[in-house]
Amino acid sequence: MVNVRDMRKGQVSSPPGINPGNDEGAGVVSLLQRYETVREELEQVIAERESLRLEVEKLKSQIFKENSPLAQLEGVLAQPDRGFNVVVYYRLRAVWGLCNQKLLTLSKELQKRLESSDRDAYRQLAMTLNGAKRQGLEAKISLLKSERQAVSKIITRLQHEARPASFLKRFSGHDIEPRIRAEKTKLRVLERDIEALNRESEKLVKDPGDEYPGLSLAVRREINCAILALAQNLYLTFNEGNVCDFALMAKQKELVEINFGSLVECQNIDRKIRELLIRFRNQAQNTDDFKKRTAWLRSRVIYRNAQDVLPDNDCLNFIDTAFDDSTIRTQTFYQPVPVNILTLNFWNVRDVLCN
């Protein structure tokens, strides 16, 4: 009997005793070839079916994951004593999203506004440094050219002396040609060095603005101070009635994990959120406090390392509510707010900062 597994793809050997040249042998060979083709197609179909099965399981898992929050929402809404928690939960998340969007907008505006001046400052500094480098290179090139001229004169003099010396060297044993070759080698080295310095000098002529590496350290620090100042302002704006703490809780936890209390308590939180949002919109045009806080932070933040763009966390442990030392000293009961917005990542501030 023929062992089909031992057959090579597309090649089927004739069974013993069968001559492929006659009709019976040709029929058996054709049948075996068809069998091999069907077997390969079957293996391909099985592989495709397994691939489709895995894809279906993946889709089922994705659908379950997407429907899970909806099922949780329905479960909470179905409970009479917790239904209003859903409204408060999503209002708090809306406050969080509003504050995050304010930070993101400020970051984009500052980066766009400061990039042009920062690029110009980089170009000016680079041009100054490149000019100084070119002066140094030109001085080196001038020295090498002077040396090349001196070597050329030596070669000319030696070549002039070589004419009578070639006649006399048979008697004196003195040969001037090695000295000429040595000076020519020195001349080639000088010309090579001059050419290399010229290429390096030409590179410094092009506009350095094309090599702008991005916002400088000072500009990124300035932007980050402004973002942190706005984040602190937003915290103070929504700090009444524990709204900020509730918003942080709503951001960090799932709906089913949170209970804001009874219907009356939830209504009070919702009422406070509405009041703070109205106040926030009315104060949106007043930027004096934001500017003062930005300048205050900029003068007081501490950086652990010279290349850090983010201040040390410890210097942000409190939010100041006054912006000059004399006012703070005269207020006997002045107390800054003990909240570190950077450590707690309020309003997702860490995602907005220039790192």
161 and 47 within one domain: no
Calculate the alpha carbon distances from 219 to 53, 143, 299, 354 in Å.
54, 42, 15, 9
Q: Does one domain contain both 132 and 267?
A: no
Looking at the fold, whether 240 and 331 belong to one and the same domain comes out as: yes
pLDDT per position as a tens digit, 158-201: 888 776 655 555 544 456 788 888 888 888 898 898 888 888 88
Into how many domains does the chain fold?
3
State the CB neighbour count (10 A cutoff) for residue 115: 14
Domain range holding 67? 4-76
Residue 244 has pLDDT above 90, yes or no: yes
Examine the domain organization and report whether 45 and 187 are in the same domain: no
Residue 347, pLDDT score: 96
For residues 171 and 321, which has the higher predicted lDDT (pLDDT)?
Answer: 321
- Claim to verify: residue 68 and residue 97 sit in the same structural domain: no
196 shares its domain with 95: no
Going by C-alpha positions, the residue among 154, 194, 192 that lies closest to residue 176 is 154
Verify that 329 and 222 share a domain, yes or no.
yes
Per-residue model confidence as pLDDT tens digits over 260-294: 888 899 999 999 999 999 989 887 667 888 888 99
The token pair at 152 is 């050329």
189 with 255, same domain: the answer is no
Please answer whether residues 72 and 89 qualify as being in contact, where contact means their C-beta atoms are separated by less than 8 angstroms. Answer: no
Task: Identify whether residues 166 and 273 lie together within a single domain.
Answer: no
Of 184, 211, 238, the one marking the end of a domain is 211
pTM, two decimal places: 0.62
Mark whether 107 and 221 lie in a shared domain.
yes
Judgement on whether residues 261 and 347 belong to the same structural domain of the protein = yes
